[in-house]
Structure 1
Amino acid sequence: MSLTDRLFGNAESIYWPVFVVATLAAIVASQATITATFSIIKQALAHGCFPRVKVVHTSKKFLGQIYIPDINWILMILCIAVTAGFRNQSQIGNAYGTAVVIVMLVTTFLMTLIMLLVWRCHWVLVLLFTVLSLVVECTYFSAVLFKVDQGGWVPLVIAAAFFIIMYAWHYGTVKRYEFEMHSKVSMAWILGLGPSLGLVRVPGIGLVYTELASGVPHIFSHFITNLPAVHSVVVFVCVKYLPVYTVPEDERFLVKRIGPKSFHMFRCVARYGYKDLHKRDEEFERKLFDNLFLFVRLENMMEGCSDSDEYSLYGQQTQNSAGFLLRNNGNLTTGSSNFTCSTVDSIIRVESPIQGNNNTVTSSGRESSQAEVDEMEFLNCCRDAGVVHILGNTVVRARRDSRFYKKIAIDYIYAFLRKMCRENSVIFNIPHESLLNVGQIFYV
Structure 2
Amino acid sequence: MFERARRLIASCVIAAATAVAPVASTAQAQVPYLQLLPATQPKYAAVVVDAKTGEVLYAKRADSPRYPASITKVMTLYLAFEALAAGRLRLDDQIVVSPRAAAQAPTKLGLRAGETISVQDAILAMCTKSANDMAVAMAEKLGGSEARFAAMMTLRAHELGMRNTRFVNASGLPDSRQISTARDIAILSRAVMRDYPQYYGFFGAKNFTYRGVSMRNHNGMLNTMPGVDGIKTGYTNASGFNIAVSAVRENRRLITVVLGAPSTAVRNENAEDLMLTGFDVMARRDRGEKITIAQNLFEPEPSGPITRPSIAQGDGEQDGLKIVLASATPPASASRTKIVEPGKTALRGKKGGRWVVQVGAFKSKSDAKEQITLVTKRFGKHFDARDGEIGGKVAGSYRARFSGYTEASARDACQALKAKRMACMVVKPT
The TM-score, its normalising length taken from structure 1, stands at: 0.22
The TM-score, its normalising length taken from structure 2, stands at: 0.22
Select the structure with the greater relative contact order (CA < 8 A; seq sep ≥ 6): 2
